Amino acid sequence: MLDRLEFTAGTENIGERIDKTLSELLTEMSRSALQKLVSEGCVLVNGKSVSKNYKMKNGDIVIVDIPEPEELKAEPQDIPIDIVYEDDSLLVVNKPQGMVVHPAAGNPDGTLVNALMYHCKGRLSSINGVIRPGIVHRIDKFTSGLLMVAKTDKAHNFLAEQIKNHSFTREYNAICVGRFKDLTGTVNEPIGRSKFDRKKMCVTYQNCKEAVTHYEVLEEFGQYSLVRFRLETGRTHQIRVHSAFIGHPVLGDDVYGKAYKGLDGQCLHAKKLGFVHPESGEYMEFDSELPEYFVKVLEKLRKG
């Protein structure tokens, strides 16, 4: 069954490309996905198909038929994973840089979820559906480090509540560009999706959520700094957005900063994870060593 969107263009849309107008209404879809809908004839303007370059006119009647997304199904795969802790309720894993957490368009398999399904023989919480079983929180593909996974729905709900209440410990180490004026501080700026690039997040005061990041500079070398970040909230790309916002993007982050030769993605590692166990009620905390890719960059920068 198709979802249908109908609207009439106003004066604010005059001269705008139709894919731009649609991106402001269908914020969950990328510009390329919307262009595809236009080229496939799923978008009618005044009853006729148009090209993706069509410029809007005042009073245009637009109908968009949105097909249901293709359903992805995660399958178990025998992929090695670094398990730091495991019991009947949950696991803590150390995700390598470059591994995607769960299947999505462009990454249908080879993900952490595929590996977890094989290891846990399907015994993972079902709250986040068949594509994200067990996933309580995520880290980016090119971010390494500790990630907690729920085996039961009870554990999932209990842990998710801690994240919601900001009682969940999440500390990251990152190499940032530049030297900080203040060696400790807090960035308290709301984050939302960028109006100009739907794949990016940004500091914004419209359609946003509270985002709070605490930082401490651990070491400085040349024009780079080793920084500890502690998340109070957990928004998408939060550390990367906040560090770029204050003028110190994470090294190697080609989305919010720029790429770094020899580094595949940003130099950001989820180092510490702490939470109250859903069954025992005890606080548990895990710390991971900096991975090889991170250490190599540190050594290089220390040598100047």
Contact 232, 262 (CB under 8 A): no
pTM, two decimals, is: 0.78
pLDDT tens for 137-167 read 999 999 999 999 999 999 999 999 999 899 9
All CATH 3.30.2350.10 domain ranges in the chain, comma separated:
71-165, 166-304
CATH class of 3-66: alpha beta
Q: Looking at residue 70, what is its pLDDT?
A: 56
d(CA 262, CA 252): 9
Residue type, 141: K
Q: Which CATH number fits domain 166-304: 3.30.2350.10, 3.40.50.960, 3.30.70.3340, 3.40.50.2000?
A: 3.30.2350.10
- Residue 30: phi and psi, rounded to 5, are -75, 160
Q: Tokens standing for 34? A: 């919307």
- What is the rounded radius of gyration, in angstroms, for the C-alpha atoms of the chain? 22
d(CA 287, CA 272): 4
CA distance readout (Å), 244 to 191, 194, 203, 206? 12, 14, 10, 19
Q: Quick check: helix, strand or coil at residue 112?
A: helix
User: Sign of the CA dihedral 213, 156, 137, 196?
Assistant: negative
Of 87, 192, 190, 215, nearest in space to 148 by CA: 87
Kind of pairing between the strands at 48-49 and 43-45: antiparallel
Q: Give the catalytic positions in this structure.
A: 140
- Residue 244: phi and psi, rounded to 5, are -65, -35
Q: Tokens standing for 73? A: 């199904």
Contact 176, 224 (CB under 8 A): yes
- Domain covering 71-165, topology: Pseudouridine synthase (3.30.2350)
Residues of the chain with pLDDT under 50: 1
All CATH 3.10.290.10 domain ranges in the chain, comma separated:
3-66
Q: Tokens standing for 154? A: 């009870």
Q: Looking at residue 1, what is its pLDDT?
A: 42
Q: Looking at residue 195, what is its pLDDT?
A: 80
Of 180, 146, 147, 144, nearest in space to 263 by CA: 144
Neighbouring residues of 247: CB distance < 8 A, sequence distance ≥ 6: 178
